[in-house]
Protein backbone atom coordinates (compact mmCIF):
# COMPACT_ATOMS: atom_id res chain seq x y z
CA UNK A 1 0.00 0.00 0.00
CA UNK A 2 1.45 3.31 -0.98
CA UNK A 3 0.34 6.87 -0.78
CA UNK A 4 -1.23 8.26 -3.89
CA UNK A 5 -2.65 11.71 -4.16
CA UNK A 6 -3.19 11.92 -0.46
CA UNK A 7 -5.25 8.75 -0.43
CA UNK A 8 -4.48 5.07 -0.25
CA UNK A 9 -3.46 2.83 -3.07
CA UNK A 10 -3.26 -0.83 -2.25
CA UNK A 11 -0.42 -2.50 -4.03
CA UNK A 12 0.70 -5.58 -2.15
CA UNK A 13 2.19 -7.22 -5.23
CA UNK A 14 4.66 -4.45 -5.68
CA UNK A 15 5.73 -4.62 -2.09
CA UNK A 16 6.74 -8.21 -2.63
CA UNK A 17 9.50 -7.18 -4.98
CA UNK A 18 12.83 -7.64 -3.25
CA UNK A 19 14.64 -4.47 -2.50
CA UNK A 20 18.41 -4.73 -2.30
CA UNK A 21 19.85 -2.56 0.38
CA UNK A 22 22.98 -2.02 2.34
CA UNK A 23 23.18 -1.92 6.08
CA UNK A 24 24.15 1.68 6.48
CA UNK A 25 24.55 2.33 10.12
CA UNK A 26 23.61 1.28 13.52
CA UNK A 27 23.18 3.54 16.42
CA UNK A 28 25.08 2.90 19.62
CA UNK A 29 24.40 0.07 21.94
CA UNK A 30 20.88 1.01 22.80
CA UNK A 31 19.62 -0.13 19.44
CA UNK A 32 22.44 -2.31 18.21
CA UNK A 33 20.87 -5.41 19.63
CA UNK A 34 17.60 -4.91 17.92
CA UNK A 35 17.95 -3.55 14.52
CA UNK A 36 20.02 -2.54 11.63
CA UNK A 37 19.25 0.32 9.37
CA UNK A 38 19.20 -0.14 5.67
CA UNK A 39 19.95 2.47 3.10
CA UNK A 40 17.11 2.73 0.63
CA UNK A 41 19.19 4.95 -1.60
CA UNK A 42 21.39 1.98 -2.29
CA UNK A 43 18.50 -0.08 -3.52
CA UNK A 44 18.65 -1.00 -7.15
CA UNK A 45 14.96 -0.47 -7.22
CA UNK A 46 12.76 0.59 -4.39
CA UNK A 47 9.61 -1.07 -3.26
CA UNK A 48 7.57 2.08 -3.37
CA UNK A 49 7.44 5.57 -4.74
CA UNK A 50 8.51 7.16 -1.54
CA UNK A 51 11.71 5.81 -0.16
CA UNK A 52 11.32 3.02 2.33
CA UNK A 53 13.03 4.02 5.46
CA UNK A 54 13.91 1.42 7.95
CA UNK A 55 13.26 -2.16 8.58
CA UNK A 56 10.79 -2.91 10.01
CA UNK A 57 9.61 0.65 10.41
CA UNK A 58 8.50 0.66 6.81
CA UNK A 59 5.07 -0.06 8.12
CA UNK A 60 4.96 3.23 9.89
CA UNK A 61 6.23 5.48 7.21
CA UNK A 62 5.39 3.82 3.97
CA UNK A 63 2.87 1.08 4.01
CA UNK A 64 0.27 2.91 5.97
CA UNK A 65 0.58 6.60 5.18
CA UNK A 66 -0.39 8.69 8.10
CA UNK A 67 -0.17 5.81 10.47
CA UNK A 68 2.21 7.65 12.70
CA UNK A 69 0.05 10.68 12.68
CA UNK A 70 -2.29 11.09 15.61
CA UNK A 71 -4.87 12.43 13.19
CA UNK A 72 -5.08 8.95 11.75
CA UNK A 73 -6.12 7.75 15.15
CA UNK A 74 -3.69 5.00 15.94
CA UNK A 75 -5.35 2.87 18.54
CA UNK A 76 -2.90 0.09 18.94
CA UNK A 77 0.27 -1.20 17.39
CA UNK A 78 2.18 -4.39 17.92
CA UNK A 79 5.16 -6.04 16.31
CA UNK A 80 6.57 -9.52 16.44
CA UNK A 81 10.15 -9.78 15.33
CA UNK A 82 11.99 -13.05 14.79
CA UNK A 83 15.68 -13.58 14.13
CA UNK A 84 15.90 -17.01 12.49
CA UNK A 85 19.59 -16.70 11.70
CA UNK A 86 20.40 -15.79 15.27
CA UNK A 87 22.83 -13.06 14.42
CA UNK A 88 23.06 -9.34 14.05
CA UNK A 89 23.63 -7.56 10.81
CA UNK A 90 26.93 -5.91 10.13
CA UNK A 91 27.38 -2.38 8.94
CA UNK A 92 28.09 -2.54 5.25
CA UNK A 93 26.41 -5.89 4.86
CA UNK A 94 24.28 -6.21 1.77
CA UNK A 95 20.79 -7.45 2.40
CA UNK A 96 17.57 -7.86 0.50
CA UNK A 97 14.29 -6.61 1.88
CA UNK A 98 10.77 -7.62 1.01
CA UNK A 99 7.48 -6.71 2.55
CA UNK A 100 3.84 -7.27 1.89
CA UNK A 101 0.42 -6.74 3.26
CA UNK A 102 -0.76 -9.87 4.93
CA UNK A 103 -4.27 -8.74 5.68
CA UNK A 104 -6.48 -5.73 5.95
CA UNK A 105 -9.77 -5.76 7.75
CA UNK A 106 -11.91 -2.69 7.61
CA UNK A 107 -15.06 -1.88 9.43
CA UNK A 108 -16.06 1.63 8.60
CA UNK A 109 -13.24 3.92 9.51
CA UNK A 110 -11.52 1.31 11.62
CA UNK A 111 -8.82 -0.75 9.95
CA UNK A 112 -6.64 -3.53 11.26
CA UNK A 113 -3.63 -3.89 9.03
CA UNK A 114 -1.03 -6.64 9.18
CA UNK A 115 2.22 -6.15 7.30
CA UNK A 116 5.09 -8.60 7.05
CA UNK A 117 8.63 -7.47 6.37
CA UNK A 118 11.57 -9.77 5.80
CA UNK A 119 15.26 -9.17 5.52
CA UNK A 120 17.30 -11.81 3.74
CA UNK A 121 21.01 -12.29 3.39
CA UNK A 122 22.21 -10.95 0.09
CA UNK A 123 22.96 -13.30 -2.77
CA UNK A 124 24.23 -12.31 -6.13
CA UNK A 125 21.07 -13.57 -7.75
CA UNK A 126 18.99 -11.35 -5.46
CA UNK A 127 19.37 -8.56 -7.95
CA UNK A 128 17.74 -10.70 -10.61
CA UNK A 129 14.46 -10.13 -8.86
CA UNK A 130 11.74 -12.44 -7.79
CA UNK A 131 11.07 -13.15 -4.18
CA UNK A 132 11.46 -16.84 -4.93
CA UNK A 133 15.16 -16.32 -5.43
CA UNK A 134 15.38 -15.35 -1.83
CA UNK A 135 14.55 -18.82 -0.70
CA UNK A 136 18.13 -19.94 -1.00
CA UNK A 137 19.48 -17.19 1.19
CA UNK A 138 19.18 -17.21 4.96
CA UNK A 139 16.24 -15.33 6.37
CA UNK A 140 17.75 -12.88 8.82
CA UNK A 141 14.79 -11.04 10.23
CA UNK A 142 11.06 -11.35 9.93
CA UNK A 143 8.70 -8.79 11.37
CA UNK A 144 4.93 -8.98 11.53
CA UNK A 145 3.35 -5.66 12.37
CA UNK A 146 -0.24 -5.24 13.41
CA UNK A 147 -1.88 -1.89 13.75
CA UNK A 148 -5.36 -0.73 14.42
CA UNK A 149 -6.10 2.69 13.07
CA UNK A 150 -8.99 4.98 12.56
CA UNK A 151 -8.68 6.09 8.98
CA UNK A 152 -8.92 9.77 8.09
CA UNK A 153 -12.26 10.96 6.81
CA UNK A 154 -11.05 11.37 3.23
CA UNK A 155 -9.90 7.77 3.11
CA UNK A 156 -13.10 6.49 4.56
CA UNK A 157 -15.06 8.45 2.01
Partner 1 sequence: MTPTAGPWFGAPAPGEELPPQEFVLTAEDLRRYADASGDHNPIHLDDRVAREFGLKDGIIAHGMLVMGRLAAYVSAAAGAEAPASLAVRFRAPVRPGVAMVLTGRVVSVEGAQVVVEAAVAPRAGGAPAVTATWVGQWRVAAAAT
Residues that bind partner 1 (CB under 8 A): 24-27, 29-35, 37, 39-40, 51-54, 56-57, 60-61, 68-71, 76-83, 86-88
CB nearer partner 1, residue 68 or residue 98? 68
CB of 39 to partner 1, least distance (A): 8
CA 136/CA 149 separation, integer angstroms: 36
- Find out whether 78 and 85 touch, Cβ atoms under 8 Å: no
CB of 19 to partner 1, least distance (A): 13
CA 46/CA 54 separation, integer angstroms: 12
CB nearer partner 1, residue 76 or residue 107? 76
CB nearer partner 1, residue 51 or residue 112? 51
CA 85/CA 121 separation, integer angstroms: 10
CB of 121 to partner 1, least distance (A): 15
CB nearer partner 1, residue 31 or residue 125? 31
CB nearer partner 1, residue 37 or residue 101? 37
CB of 98 to partner 1, least distance (A): 18
Q: CA separation (Å) from 75 to 68, 114, 128, 148?
A: 11, 14, 40, 5
According to DSSP, the residues that pair with 148 across neighbouring strands are 76, 112
CB of 131 to partner 1, least distance (A): 22
In our burial notation (b when 16+ CB lie closer than 10 A, e otherwise), range 110-134 reads ebebbbbbbbbbbeeebeeeeeebb
Amino acid sequence: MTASGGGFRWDPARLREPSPAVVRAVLPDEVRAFRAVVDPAAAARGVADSAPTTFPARLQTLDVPGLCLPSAGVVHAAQEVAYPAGRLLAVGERVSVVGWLESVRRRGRLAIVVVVNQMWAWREDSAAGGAGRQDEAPLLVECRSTVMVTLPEEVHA
